[in-house]
């Protein structure tokens, strides 16, 4: 089974026969003992430190269908190296474009994303409400906003409702998380520990969605909720909305409330708060465990991982765009 590998240290990545050779470099520039990764066991790479590699290496990665996601010093997503788009089709491209340029069709798809995302947010709150967190008032307000989703005629109007829902949702974080305060949502840069985890986790989720899209015939640059061109792969932002409550937020609640992450795992400098390397490793491990968890799929009648659910979501969207079957966003049923 292929795995995701995370490169936290700076170093050199090269090909060694049919393996990947990663040679870490310490703070003084001295090479450390290399690590070898069998190429057939690598699904994708996440790079958080400076990486030295040449075009021959990327040719090898492309032929091996291995993607590489890059993050800068401030944990911001920088971009991805993606293998050649073997699956792209003209028919799908035309279908995606047609559904975007038709205002009613675009609005219908955008509403689906917010419907699924807001449902999953409320599902999270109901889980903690049943465990004595007293979230009923917030759930009721969010439900009121949700009821207006189908009435929207413009994407901007829909995004306004989504913003109201998410603001209420983030207010609940202070009631769910024991030892840390959420405060206001701050992004670039995040101002406290909870905001740092949200930003970092959201980028991880975005990368997973981008990878899933790439494994289908969908073009990641044509989106419906987020405006194409706002970011390079805006369809991944659309799909990520549905899965952030399931994959990111639940991991945040777990690592903080179980004290797996503590203040010592964050670096606070000037006007920002970021995870340090030890903190990143703890969060990434918990995130990977979440992706690997399985549920009994109600339609397929078999166990599927949360990671595979993202790809299934892309297939459902593809069928909708091709007018085969109406798209129904993933909603937690447990």
pLDDT at 269: 83
Residue that terminates a domain, selected from 81, 109, 131: 81
Residue 283 lies in a domain: yes
Residue 333 lies in a domain: no
Range of the domain at 231: 90-321
Kindly indicate the confidence band of residue 230, based on its pLDDT and cuts at 50, 70 and 90. low
Q: Provide the CATH number for the domain around residue 276.
A: 1.20.120.920
Q: How many CB atoms lie within 10 A of CB 21?
A: 16
Q: Residue 269's beta-bridge partner residues?
A: 272
User: Cβ contacts of residue 298 below 8 Å, gap of 6+?
Assistant: 333
How many Å separate Cα 318 from the centre of its chain?
19
Kindly indicate the confidence band of residue 317, based on its pLDDT and cuts at 50, 70 and 90. very high
Tokens of 301: 């009648």
* Shared-domain flag, residues 76 and 125: no
Residue that terminates a domain, selected from 81, 101, 128: 81
Tokens of 232: 């390079």
Residue 326 lies in a domain: no
Tokens of 193: 């520990």
CA atoms of 315 and 330, how far apart (whole Å):
12
Find, among 89, 225, 255, the residue nearest to 155 by Cα: 225
* Shared-domain flag, residues 137 and 283: yes
Strand, coil or helix: 81: strand
* Shared-domain flag, residues 139 and 230: yes
Tokens of 106: 């675009």
pLDDT surpasses 80 at 84? no
* Shared-domain flag, residues 40 and 187: no
Mean per-residue pLDDT, 29-47: 93
Contact 74, 203 (CB under 8 A): no
Residue that terminates a domain, selected from 46, 81, 116: 81
Residue 138 gets the label, from left (phi > 0), alpha (psi -120 to 50) or beta, of alpha
Q: Which residues of 148-163 are buried (b: 16+ CB within 10 A; e: fewer)?
A: ebeebeebeebbebbe
Structural domains counted in the chain: 2
Q: Is the pTM of this model over 0.95?
A: no
Residue 100 lies in a domain: yes
Q: pLDDT tens digits, residue range 237-276?
A: 999 999 999 999 999 999 999 999 999 999 988 788 999 9
Mean per-residue pLDDT, 130-157: 96
């Amino acid at each position: 089974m292929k795995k995701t590998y995370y490169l936290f240290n700076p170093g050199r990545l090269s090909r060694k026969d049919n393996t990947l050779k990663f040679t870490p470099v310490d703070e003084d520039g001295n090479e450390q003992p290399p690590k070898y990764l069998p190429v057939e066991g690598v699904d994708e790479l996440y790079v958080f430190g400076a990486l030295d590699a040449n075009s021959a290496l990327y040719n090898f990665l492309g032929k091996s269908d291995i993607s590489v996601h890059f993050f800068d010093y401030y944990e911001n997503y920088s971009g991805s190296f993606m293998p050649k788009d073997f699956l792209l089709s003209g028919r799908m491209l035309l279908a995606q474009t047609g559904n975007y340029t038709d205002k009613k069709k675009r609005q219908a798809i955008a509403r689906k994303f917010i419907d699924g995302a807001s449902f999953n947010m409320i599902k999270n709150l109901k889980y903690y409400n049943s465990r004595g967190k007293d979230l009923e008032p917030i759930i009721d307000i969010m439900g009121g906003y949700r009821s207006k989703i189908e009435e929207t005629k413009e994407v901007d109007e829909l995004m306004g409702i989504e913003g109201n829902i998410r603001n209420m949702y983030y207010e609940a974080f202070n009631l769910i998380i024991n030892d840390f305060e959420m405060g206001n949502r701050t992004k670039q840069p995040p101002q406290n520990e909870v905001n740092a985890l949200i930003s970092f986790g959201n980028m991880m989720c975005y990368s997973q969605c981008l990878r899933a899209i790439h494994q289908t015939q969908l073009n990641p640059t044509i989106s419906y909720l987020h405006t194409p061109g706002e970011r390079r792969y805006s369809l991944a932002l659309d799909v990520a909305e549905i899965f952030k409550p399931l994959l990111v937020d639940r991991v945040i609640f777990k690592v903080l409330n179980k004290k797996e992450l503590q203040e010592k795992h964050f670096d606070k400098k000037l006007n920002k708060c970021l995870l340090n390397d030890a903190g990143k490793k703890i969060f990434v491990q918990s995130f990977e465990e979440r992706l690997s968890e399985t549920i009994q799929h109600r339609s397929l009648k078999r166990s599927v991982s949360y990671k595979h659910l993202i790809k299934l979501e892309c297939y459902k969207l593809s069928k909708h765009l091709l007018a085969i079957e109406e798209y129904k966003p993933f909603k937690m049923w447990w």
